[in-house]
Amino acid sequence: MPRIAIVGSCITRDLWPIRGGGAEALLYVSRTSLPGLLSTPVEGFRPSEEPPGDLPRHGHNALIADLRKTALAALVAWRPSHIIFDFIDERFDLLAAGEALAANSGEMVRSGYRTQPPLDAARLLPRLSNTCERLWLEAAAEFAAVVRGTPLARAHLILHSARWAELQREPDGRTRPIVDVEIVEGQPASIAAYNDLLARQEATFLDLMPPMSRVSADTWRLADAEHRWGLSPFHYVPEYYEQIRHQLGALGLADAFSDRLAAPSAPAA
């Protein structure tokens, strides 16, 4: 059984629970950003013993890992046979708390930690700002060096290339545009602007990193109005995930899934 690590978001993690199987050999690093993954821990941060508010435990654990900076060491220690990257979580603004950087994720906002020391004085760095992009480019180069200099160099690297969907599919099969998109509550977002950012990030990452395989399912880039996590530009229709699973199977990951699915046909024009 391959040992798979995901450095990304639910668009890759959902390849497993949607059809089931294989998740026992999976390390999932999410709700972070490359600059945060490589930064120093947030000095003085003390998490609650139990998830605050309505946060699920897995979301709280991801938030703690981002603030304490334990994810990179866990990734190296996991010694994955395959690492799948996607950059959908690279949409959150960054928080600068001293020398530390962390993602201003939905979990961060819901946790209440931003109103408490040491994060109450943190500066917000907008994701689409030049500062944030510069930090990301520097971190991408540093991360590529980490991969080359650690056991991660032996892993098969895979980029799950993705974009935000502009259309949603309704239960009756009809499609219509997605409107009123937010990063976190009260923070509206432009789908085009974030898709442009994803394109730049992916191009830079492919250029900096060791050779990588690439999977994508652009023909099925439709948001699912009935998705288990709710409507979002990156909560796709089931055919999207099946297409990606099929491509991962061709890269040697067929045994990671409990069933064998044929690639779905492309949607009608």
User: Considering the domain boundaries, does residue 129 fall inside one?
Assistant: yes
b (16+ CB within 10 A) / e for 157-187: bbbbbbbbbbebbeeeeebeebeebebbeee
Note whether residue 110 is domain-resident: yes
Question: Within a domain: residue 131?
Answer: yes
pLDDT in tens, 57-82: 999 999 999 999 999 999 999 999 99
In a domain, 72, yes or no: yes
Tens-place pLDDT, residues 177-218: 999 999 998 999 999 999 999 999 999 999 999 999 999 999
The answer to whether residue 185 sits within a structural domain is no
Q: In this model, does residue 261 exceed pLDDT 60?
A: no
Instruction: Give the mean pLDDT of the chain.
Output: 93
Q: What is the span of the domain harbouring residue 241? A: 4-161+237-256
Q: Is residue 258 over pLDDT 80?
A: no
Q: How many distinct structural domains can be found in the chain?
A: 1
Determine the pLDDT at residue 257.
77
For 98-125, what is the mean pLDDT?
Answer: 96
Residue 12 covered by a domain: yes
Which residue, chain included where needed, has tokens 């909560």?
235
